[in-house]
Chains A and B, each alone.
Chain A
Amino acid sequence: MNIKILGTGCPNCKKLEASIKQALEELKIEAKMEKITDIAEIMSYGVMSLPALVIDGEVKLSGRIPDEEEFKTLFSE
């Protein structure tokens, strides 16, 4: 699984990163995690509210931080 976090370094972007790390650990999922901070690259995904989460090339959510339950469903798909 390939996870990308899109964000320009705002407080919520850091929060999303931390909660993803935690969720991956708890769920024992191996994933490649990458942070995208370049604005042109972020825009190429079509998102406007940050942070956004991209899993295997697909934008899963933008502008909000999900809880553990939602991570579970997101990562197990």
Chain B
Amino acid sequence: MDIFYPIQLFADWLTYSVFEIIPKTLLASAVNFFIFDTIKIILLLFVIIFAVSIIRSFLPPEKIRNILSHEKKYVGNILASLLGIITPFCSCSAVPLFLGFVQAGVPLGTTFSFLVASPMINEVALVMLLGMFGWKIALIYIISGLLIAIFSGMIIEKMDVRNLVEEFALNGNGKNLNLPELNWEQRLKYAKTYTLDIVKKVWLYVVIGVGLGAWIHGYVPADFLAQYAGSDKWYAVPLAVLVGMPLYSNAAGVIPLVGALTEKGVAMGTALAFMMAVTALSLPEFLILKKVMKVKLIFIFASVVGVGIIFTGYLFNWILN
């Protein structure tokens, strides 16, 4: 049985008994979809963010750095990308993360793998994808995100870009810090505060996004966008990446919108590429990274990741067609 069945019952009850909307009308299906999806996604957000926060309390960045500074190149890229999943990311943490890694002797390529994976793959994006597209698409997103992070890091490592990093970033003393272990009470408290913080931050985006989705779902013709962004349009993927880059990474706001777009004819690969560009390539982050590296390196970083995303977009347009 579907674990979301009780929510469906509740949505039905609200739509048909409380609001007294006539069943099988466009309005009824839009309202029903809206109530069901918002509740489902917000519940999932609570559960999954809480679980990830608990895991994270065992693996703070300081500990991840200890692990990564002992790893060889290729294993390091893979580990860094995986650890990036559980690490939350905001552009304000990009610089301390970068400096902390590099100064402790973590290879540059490994550091970049982490910098790609951390914002691109996170629990909020995961919940939204799971809620709107199901586990297959969520899995595709995670796996291709990981591959992009791993390979981007390896490519940047091969390019030997150390001279493009600011002098002071390489010369700091990389001291490893051993913080006292948290007890379970502190872990639970941390997870609770963090979960509430994030849900408070994103719930409105979820409501607006799902609302917009519900409206489009009911009122816009199904192939409306296919003529502009269907899988046969070669320019759709790079265009989606260019549009996604300046949008600030907020998976909660973008994914419901993307859900609606795919329903109206935008190819799935194009939609995935758009989401990845929004989360992984962000202009505010690039501006902040200028403090620790030359513009040329930021450009290389953005291009390598961008090409990876475009390739992924084409690949899934082709496979899922």
A: residues with CB less than 8 A from B are 8-10, 39-40, 42-50, 59-67, 70
Contacts and interface: CB of A to CB of B under 8 A. Distances in A.
Contact of B61 (A39, A40, A48, A66): A48
A50 B179 contact: no
B177 A59 contact: yes
Given A39-B99, A44-B172, A59-B179, A49 B93 contact: yes
A65 B190 CA distance: 8
Contacts of B62: 46-49, 62
Contacts of A61: 179
Given A39-B291, A44-B175, 14 more contacts: A8-B95, A10-B93, A47-B96, A47-B177, A48-B60, A48-B97, A48-B100, A48-B101, A49-B61, A50-B96, A63-B61, A64-B190, A67-B189, A70-B186
B133 interface: no
B176 interface: yes
Interface centre among B93, B176, B194, B291 (most CB of A within 10 A): B93
A59 B180 CA distance: 9
Is chain A's interface secondary structure helix, strand, loop, or mixed overall? loop
Contact of A39 (B90, B95, B176, B177): B95
Contacts of B92: 8-10, 50
Contacts of A42: 96
Nearest to A12: B197
Interface string B168-188: 100011111101100000100
A63 B86 CA distance: 14
Contacts of B291: 39
A46 B176 contact: yes
Q: Interface size class for chain B?
A: 20 to 34
Q: Which 9 A-B pairs have the closest CB atoms?
A: A46-B177, A48-B100, A48-B61, A10-B92, A46-B175, A43-B99, A49-B61, A64-B190, A48-B96
A40 B99 CA distance: 9
A8 B91 CA distance: 11
A47 to B, nearest CB: 6
B198 to A, nearest CB: 12
B86 to A, nearest CB: 12
Nearest to A59: B177
B168 A40 contact: yes
A76 B68 CA distance: 35
A61 B189 CA distance: 14
A9 B92 CA distance: 9
Contacts of A63: 60-61
A35 to B, nearest CB: 15
Contacts of B190: 64
A12 to B, nearest CB: 9
B175 A62 contact: no
Nearest to A70: B186
B303 interface: no
B65 interface: yes
B177 A45 contact: yes
Contacts of B110: none
Contacts of B99: 39, 43
Interface in B209-258: none
Contacts of A66: 186
Contact of B60 (A10, A43, A60, A62): A62
A48 B65 contact: yes
B103 interface: yes
Contacts of A70: 186
A21 B199 CA distance: 27
A39 B174 CA distance: 14
A64 B194 CA distance: 9
